[in-house]
Amino acid sequence: MRGFVEIIRQVFDAIWANKLRSFLTMFGIAWGVASLLLLVGLGEGFRSGNRRGLAEFGTDVIMMWGANVPALPGQTTGLHPYKLTMRDVDAVRAQAPHVRAATGLINRGDLKQVSEYSSTGGAVMGIEANYPQIRNLPIAQGRELTEEDVRLHRMVAILGKKNNQLLFPGRPSLGAFITLNGYRFEVVGVAAKIGRGNNDGDNQKIYIPLTTMVELFPIKGENVPLDAISSIQYQPTTPDLNETAKMDVHRVIAQRNGFDPLNIEGFEEWDTIKQSRSIGMIFTAMDVFLGGVGIVTLALGAVGIINIMLVTVSERTKEIGLRKALGATNKSIMLQFFLEGLTLTGVSGFIGIVAAGLLMAGLHAVMGDGAQGFDPPRLVPWSAAMAMGTLTLAGVVAGLYPARKAAMLEPVEALRKD
């Protein structure tokens, strides 16, 4: 035990004797490790921010809007426009076996919103009672809209968080009344904050029953059905069946509007499941690329340590010869130089990981919960594990070869060196 302690002391004495060289070597490795972790952390921040942003819309949502159908695929003239209707929503529910839930909505941004204290603008949404099951609409106060509200065409409303603050500044809103284009609505609920950052679009909305919206504020236009809606939004039975669910819905909508369901140009839609997968693949490829760059960087650092250790062996040839002449074994010589290389890589790697972690924690404290579409970078466990594994391997290689070279020196030949 005393012999091992003595070897450890000699290791640190040797490193301290070459402070500048050791510092520059360790700084290079620490910088490489920290850069690797920061780059991967930034990528994961974008990944989780995008995933969170999509989750703000709802879970596994596919959105469809009315579109224009070309007479022939690829044709840009003679387009036949169509609007989605409440009857289309019912048909999707009844005839699309791979759709677990569907809802219709109307989105109007031209309705004047007035309370007894203030007035404001923003979107007014006509929704069905199952809207919160598909889209994200958390309730902070009061209640959700019910099936009875929709069936009885009730004049009730849910205020978005921002609209609640604008229409009832510092005052209670539940049970109070607002007017939409002169029609009086009772406030029965207030939504919680949706999203992060300064994007208040979803927080500056008012939600009323879809039937009331169709009755009082229908979509206007030439040849527009009386029950026209802005969008159908639905969820597949499972995320893996999103394409199958879209084929079901295409078949239903195309049949009801008189065109070929294989004519993809006749549909305007957004599949959040597909987008999430595509973005995930991009960030996975980025992680692999950055991880590869990091490993190469650390490998170059290991080559630098091997070079330094070989120089150290060359400089300390006489010392090695003297120690072996005084009885030092090949094992003790080899262990000392091996531990020097391992210490340089291990300590510098640990410093790099701690520095990256502290920097990410500081960014998280400054940024808070993150901006729209981006979360603060975070220390990713697999990248830290990969860095430490690579460093351990680099330390073994960087210490083992020079250590073996030092141990194999003959005492007499070593003492003859100038």
Choice among 241-245, 345-349, 413-417 with the minimum mean pLDDT: 413-417
pLDDT in tens, 348-385: 788 888 888 888 888 777 766 555 556 777 777 777 77
pTM for the full predicted model:
0.71
Strand 119-120 vs strand 113-114: parallel, antiparallel, or unpaired? antiparallel
For the chain, the average pLDDT equals 81
Closest CA to 81 of 202, 239, 257, 325: 257
Residue 190 has pLDDT above 90, yes or no: yes
The answer to whether residues 272 and 361 touch, using CB atoms and an 8 Å cutoff, is no
* Between residues 72 and 67, the one the model is more confident about: 67
Degrees to nearest 5, angle at CA 90 with 86 and 94: 165
Statement: residue 71 has pLDDT above 70: no
Domain locations in the chain as residue ranges:
1-56+277-416, 68-266
pLDDT, residue 118, reads 92
Range with the lowest mean pLDDT among 10-14, 110-114, 146-150? Answer: 10-14
Q: What digits encode the pLDDT tens for the residues 130-182?
A: 999 999 899 999 999 999 999 999 999 999 999 999 999 989 999 999 999 99
Q: Is residue 298 within 8 Å of 390, Cβ to Cβ?
A: yes
pLDDT at 13: 63
Burial class (CB in 10 A: 0-12, 13-18, 19+), 207: buried
**Percent of the chain scored above 90 by pLDDT?**
38
pLDDT (tens digit per residue) in 193-224:
887 656 677 889 999 999 999 999 999 888 88
pLDDT tens readout for residues 15-57: 666 667 677 777 777 877 787 788 777 777 777 777 776 667 7
Q: How far apart are CA 142 and CA 128, in angstroms?
A: 17
Largest pairwise CA distance in the chain: 105
